[in-house]
Amino acid sequence: MASTVDVYRFHRFPDLPPEIRIQIWQEALPDTPEPALFSFQKGGWEPQPLAEDDEYYNEFDDSNLALIFDYNQIKGRYFIPLALVNQEAYDVVLFWAREEGLEITYTKTKRLPVFTRHFDTHDTLYIPADKWDDFIDAPRARMREDDLLEPGVARICFTLTQLAIPDTILQRNISALRDLMDNFTQVNSILVLSESEIPDYTSECMDEIPLAWGYEVHSNGAYTWDNIVDEFRTEGLLDSKDPATKLMMKAAGKVGRDLSDEDMLLFRLQRAKITDIGVLGPRVFTPKPIPATKTQRLLQWLRNKKKQGK
């Protein structure tokens, strides 16, 4: 009987020179994490002194505090399957992650490495339906805490301009966008997700820091406020049969008067969808050339790590 050959394994891979193995692992590394959706997490509102040139600064007020949303406290997690192949691949991923500014943590059972990064301005804050009320009330709730009852707050500062929400928020409260405008005046772009398209994904790390979600906006248009004619106009072709799009357009009608009264220059609503759930896989399109110096640094780091027994 002919022997069965395992065509899916390269059994001589460990016999390759370490430089070649390292280059192969490097080619399998993921791309730099793209802008993602980071779920809203409680906290993040911190008091800071107002500068003297701030319009809310009062020379007769001893406190002069602003309550600022520190988005750097928001985190998202990623799984990188390559890190689970073997120790050498894990080391290559760890080196790459450190250069990309990712932090490494582990699931509660300590079995799976998870890579964490902080929210950045190119990311989008996602507000789940069950967290909407907490999000809207968060600055006022923070001002009710003991350390801010005495001095008081002169200004609430929320610098993010784009948020993402599920359509169920609009389904439950069609005036939700008006509530948003009343509390967070800087926000001028809303991505609307269909709740039915949001994956029901749970894992042992979800109760601590949520996984970051990859996303993309729909290519079939947006609903944008035109302050010249004081009405919303359609960009592209919106899917009038899509339930989430219908809710988005209906909600826009509820805030039109407010946008006109406040002379709002920009307010945009657009459908978006989830593309992945916090998994960074290997590059699948155009591999990026890896500088020889980077490979050399990686090899030296691995040698030092081996000598130190880490």
Share of the chain above pLDDT 70, in %: 86
pLDDT tens digits, one per residue of 72-100: 999 999 989 999 888 899 999 999 998 88
45: CB partners within 8 A, 6+ apart: 67, 68, 69, 70, 138, 139, 142
| pLDDT tens per residue, range 252-263 | 888 888 888 777
Q: What is the DSSP letter of 211?
A: B
Angle between helices 243-261 and 176-183 (to 10 degrees): 40
How does residue 187 score in pLDDT terms, banded at 50, 70 and 90? very high
Type of residue at 133: D
31 CB contacts (<8 Å, ≥6 apart)? 280, 283, 288
**Contacts (Cβ under 8 Å, ≥6 apart) of 227:** 259, 260, 263, 264, 265, 266
- E-strand ranges in the chain read 36-39, 45-49, 65-69, 75-78, 103-106, 113-118, 124-126, 155-157, 162-166, 189-193, 213-226, 231-235, 268-277
Lowest-confidence segment of 108-112, 137-141, 205-209, 290-294 by average pLDDT: 205-209
pLDDT surpasses 60 at 287: no
Contacts of 113 (CB under 8 A, 6+ apart): 80, 83, 84, 90, 104, 105, 106
Single pTM value for the model: 0.82
- How high is the pLDDT of residue 292? 65
Q: Which tokens in the block code for residue 214?
A: 């990859």
Which DSSP category does 284 fall into? -
Q: What angle in degrees, to the nearest 10, is found between the helix axes of 18-27 and 292-308?
A: 120
In this prediction, residue 5 has a pLDDT band, given cuts at 50, 70 and 90, of low
Q: Would you state the pLDDT for residue 297?
A: 78
Mean pLDDT of the chain, nearest integer = 83
Query: At residue 60, does pLDDT exceed 80?
Result: no
Q: Is 126 helix (H, G, I), strand (E, B) or coil?
A: strand
Alpha helices in 100-203 (DSSP H): 132-143, 146-149, 167-172, 176-183
For 203, half-sphere exposure in the C-beta direction (CA atoms, 13 angstrom radius) is 23
State the pLDDT at residue 285.
43
Q: Which of 26-35, 134-143, 177-186, 277-286 has the lowest mean pLDDT?
A: 277-286
> Percent of the chain having pLDDT more than 90?
33
Residue 235 DSSP code: E
